[in-house]
Amino acid sequence: MSDTGDSWYVALLGLAESFRQANNIKECVRCLTAVFSFSPPPVIVARTHLQLGNILHTKTNNQDLAKQHLSQAWYISQPLQGIDEVKFEAASLLAKVHDGAGDQAGGKD
């Protein structure tokens, strides 16, 4: 990331993290979702979907939306180089979401 061009991303991540730490999940999700309005590169899109999916999975009851974000993180990250941790974490969390929902076949996809 460049020092000046991506300052919006760092600002939104910092703001989202401060809301998360204050347990204000709605505003945390709102900040992370705002990242998409800047049309960031695919690496940032994949990471942001992973963060949203993780927060929604662990802090809310909205497992369907968590699943959507985690799936998007996984699909977007597939052709990208150097972000294997996003691929693996998204796949792991997707399996947990599917397993928690009783969809064991979906967890094996």
Q: Would you mind telling me the total number of residues written for the chain in this entry?
A: 109
- Of residues 89 and 6, more confidently modeled: 89
pLDDT in tens, 17-72: 999 999 999 999 999 999 999 999 999 999 999 999 999 999 999 999 999 999 99
Please say whether the beta carbons of 98 and 74 come within 8 A. no
pLDDT of residue 103: 63
- Of residues 49 and 1, more confidently modeled: 49
Stated pTM of the model: 0.87
Q: What number of H helices and E strands is found in the chain? A: 5, 0
Report how far residue 54's alpha carbon sits from residue 77's, in angstroms, rounded to the nearest whole number. 16
Report how far residue 28's alpha carbon sits from residue 98's, in angstroms, rounded to the nearest whole number. 24
